[in-house]
Amino acid sequence: MSRRNSNLSVLILLMVSAGCAAAQNVQTDQQAYCVYLTEQAKAQSDLLRTPNALAGFTQPDTGLPTQLVAGASLSLSSLKKAGITQDAARKNCELYKESTGVQRTLQYALPAVEKEALTHRLALIEEASKSLDGLIEKTRKMVEAQNMTRPMLLALVTNRIKLESDRADTESKIAALYVPPLAAQPLKLQVAAKQTSDVEEQKALARLSRQNNWDVALTVGTHQQINPVAEGLEPYGEVSVTYNLASRAIDRHLDRTVDAWANWKKVEENDAERGMEVLRKQVEESIAVQQKRLKSLDREAGEIEKNLQLVGEGETTAALDFRNQLASTRLLLGIESGDASYRLGRLQEFLNRNF
């Protein structure tokens, strides 16, 4: 394996390793946030499910003796809230996963295409380098046989220097680009799932708010007369029912809140749906740029082919020099044409698949 091939293999291996590490970091982030939400929800649920202990002194208004009261109180509304609280936490966790996935795609979709294109360009440079090395070796032998001059060889060596500079520049750009693993699902489906999670979380929060409209509280305990002291504890129990008379109006507003939230997310400047539209325009503009670039390169390639046909198989020194220049220029132009074609294909594929 040549040194250049070895460098390319090492670069690809590093990219794969970095991708695996990034994927693990993403999963760790999501899991850590969901654990945080789950523990908060469990703490709140335990608080809501557990009866409240109460104790105190009371002096009835009817003139009865002072009493010591102790017991416990349980709210049915709080019991209902306990389950809804954990459900809201699960919905929030799912929303976080969907949101972070969409945001990664929006942020790194074009850099991912760029990194793929640069990697492909490295392969094009490698192939061109091999062809140019062969041409240089052939010309060197002709110089030694005094069939060509050294300035003719220098022109080819200069093009090789350009190729090596292009290679180093391309490798530097690849190394500078960070692209985490992106979801395999098309972006339009990711955004739809995220919007659904948005609505589901709001519905869970609305259900939680509805529990404030009513309550059935059960209180049980004992009381002891202390002035004067009476013998024995007396049990007591109490059931209280509360209902907010504006419950129907509150519920209507909560339903409208869910719809209003969904509509806001569709037009929010920093949200996924708006970001998807911005990305779509960026991709379309990039496609137009590459189409224009490829058209220009095709014209140049056509001119080179015409000149190669004109020079034919001439054996004069001038003809050999001109043909070498055309051949080396065609190699350099092939890199640009191959790069433009690949970028255009990937961008078009990305557009068709994700939008």
Confidence of residue 54 (pLDDT cuts 50, 70, 90): confident
Could you tell me the sign of the dihedral formed by the alpha carbons of 106, 108, 114, 119, in that order?
Answer: negative
Collapsing DSSP states into helix, strand and coil, what is residue 185?
A: coil
Residue among 193, 198, 195, 205 at smallest CA distance from 88: 205
pLDDT (average), residues 308-312: 80
Against a cut of 0.95, is the pTM above it?
A: no
pLDDT score for 25: 64
Q: Does residue 228 surpass a pLDDT of 80?
A: no
Residue 258 vs residue 63, higher pLDDT: 258
Residues 6+ apart with CB under 8 A from 180: 19, 22, 23, 25, 26, 104, 108
283-308, pLDDT tens digit by residue?
A: 999 999 999 999 999 999 999 998 88
Q: How far apart are CA 253 and CA 226, in angstroms?
A: 51
pLDDT score for 248: 92
14-48, pLDDT tens digit by residue?
A: 454 545 555 566 678 888 999 999 999 999 999 99
150-179, pLDDT tens digit by residue?
A: 777 888 888 899 999 999 999 999 999 999
Please state, in angstroms and as integers, the Cα–Cα distance from residue 270 to each residue in 51, 267, 274, 277, 346, following that order: 44, 9, 7, 11, 26
User: What secondary structure letter does DSSP report for 248?
Assistant: H
Confidence of residue 64 (pLDDT cuts 50, 70, 90): low
Q: How far apart are CA 217 and CA 50, in angstroms?
A: 13
Q: Does residue 105 surpass a pLDDT of 90?
A: yes
φ/ψ bin of 232: left (φ > 0), alpha (ψ from -120 to 50), beta (otherwise):
left
Tell me the backbone φ, ψ of residue 200, rounded to 5 degrees.
-65, -40
pLDDT score for 156: 85
